[in-house]
Amino acid sequence: MEQVILYGAPHSLYTGKTRSYLRKQGIAYVERAADPRFRAEIVPAIGRAIIPVVALPDGTIVQDTADILDHFERAGVRVSAYPAGPRQRILAHIAELYAVVVLTRHAMHYRWSYAGEQERFLIYAFAGGSGDTDAVMARMRSYLPMLGVTPATIAAIEESYLSLLDLLEAHFAAHPYLLGGQPSIGDYGLFGPLFAHLGRDPAPADIMKRRAPKVFRWVERMNAPDPDLPEYGDYTPAFLPGDEIPGTLTPLFRHMADELFPELTDKVAMMCRYVAEVDPQEGAPVTDKPHRRVIGSVETAFRGVGFDSGVQPYIFYLWQRITDAFDALAAPEAKEARDWLERVGLAPLLDARRPIRVERRNHIEVWGRRL
């Protein structure tokens, strides 16, 4: 039987997320690097050289982890990553957004700001790809300022990482995954940076092992093909019943709220200005070239430290997954979800005025309808 082909790399954040999902679902796959077929067939089909990409036996190509997971969810899987509980589902989406907006910064900082301490490891990792290793590594380092990794923000980033580890450590002391005994899209989202960079590169992985061994154990668990719950006794391998939100998640999501804002507030204001000035047409690509993901930059702050950040329409695509899930709720469920989000400071995710939708078609982000 033909297998799914996962084009990716061991050190790739989003490949790690996709690989974990395929393993958990028992989906037979083979992982390949950017081989001649990738360059000759996949890149022309999707319009850019990017990983991960999944090639299905019927010839279908799926790019972007959100789209890949959704493709298999629609096809039917043994353990859905989407909780049925409305509050649990919204929190899973929020964790997915936080992983991209905030943890990408942490991941890139610990990989490249500590490059000298883990040089041999990184050279080995990047030598397995295509292109000149030094050039590829230099290009990755060049993204740091756009992501908000600057001399001014480094202390705040490291303080944030240690706090996050402590909060996750407390949660995983009682629960194997974010929302119970099986991984949600929130787990898969957090896993990308917490594995490929922060749990695998020598410098940050050492911090995780020493400070938060239960978090490192969760990283191992997310890589396992089964629930992998031996230390939790008879813990049921399912989402917590009754849409339960463990008390250990309250400080964790308050931490996320503190770090998502004011950055998202500043970026949505920039998006409003951009849409008013450019007047993008529905269905048009968000940038003039597929490999460009940023439409501009904005002055913002992380934990009180100012920096200039690139604005990626993709984060609005993830953000609207939260609001779409909320808008689909019946009134009593919506009130319960809003009340919980208000307690931890995340209600602005529901109320911020976004000017336009961002969709994904033909492997790229495109403008949707005005809001």
**What are the domain boundaries of the chain?**
4-75, 86-260, 263-370
Residue with tokens 């850019």: 48
The predicted structure's pLDDT at residue 42: 94
Whether the pLDDT of residue 332 is over 60: the answer is yes
Question: What mean pLDDT is predicted for residues 271-276?
Answer: 97
Q: How confident is the model at residue 291 (pLDDT cuts 50, 70, 90)?
A: confident
Q: At what angle do helices 154-172 and 202-211 cross, to 10 degrees?
A: 40
Whether the pLDDT of residue 314 is over 80: the answer is yes
Copy the structure tokens of residue 213: 């061994």
Amino acid at 162: L
Using the 8-state DSSP alphabet, how is residue 150 labeled?
Answer: -
Whether the pLDDT of residue 1 is over 60: the answer is no
CATH classification code of 86-260: 1.20.1050.10
The predicted structure's pLDDT at residue 279: 96
DSSP letters for 206-268: HHHHHH-HHHHHHHHHHHSSS---GGGTT--SSBPGGG---TTHHHHHHHHHHHHTTHHHHHH
Quick one: how far is CA 111 from the chain centroid? Answer: 17
Whether the pLDDT of residue 301 is over 90: the answer is yes
The predicted structure's pLDDT at residue 129: 64
pLDDT in tens, 29-66: 999 998 888 999 999 999 999 999 999 999 999 999 99
d(CA 62, CA 294): 22
Residue pair 316/271 in contact (Cβ under 8 Å)? The answer is: yes
Q: How confident is the model at residue 130 (pLDDT cuts 50, 70, 90)?
A: low
Alpha helices by DSSP H, the chain:
13-25, 36-37, 43-46, 65-75, 86-98, 104-112, 119-127, 133-142, 144-147, 154-172, 185-196, 202-211, 213-223, 249-260, 263-278, 313-327, 331-344, 348-351
pLDDT in tens, 235-245: 999 999 999 99
d(CA 226, CA 26): 9
- DSSP helix/strand/coil, 368: strand
- Percent of all residues in the chain with a pLDDT value above 70, rounded to a whole number: 99
The predicted structure's pLDDT at residue 133: 87
The predicted structure's pLDDT at residue 287: 94
What mean pLDDT value characterizes the chain? 95
Q: Which of 92, 110, 128 has its CA nearest to residue 326?
A: 92
* 4-75 CATH fold: Glutaredoxin (3.40.30)
- Percent of all residues in the chain with a pLDDT value above 90, rounded to a whole number: 92
pLDDT in tens, 138-194: 999 999 998 999 999 999 999 999 999 999 999 999 999 999 999 999 999 999 999
The predicted structure's pLDDT at residue 34: 85
The predicted structure's pLDDT at residue 289: 87
The predicted structure's pLDDT at residue 131: 66
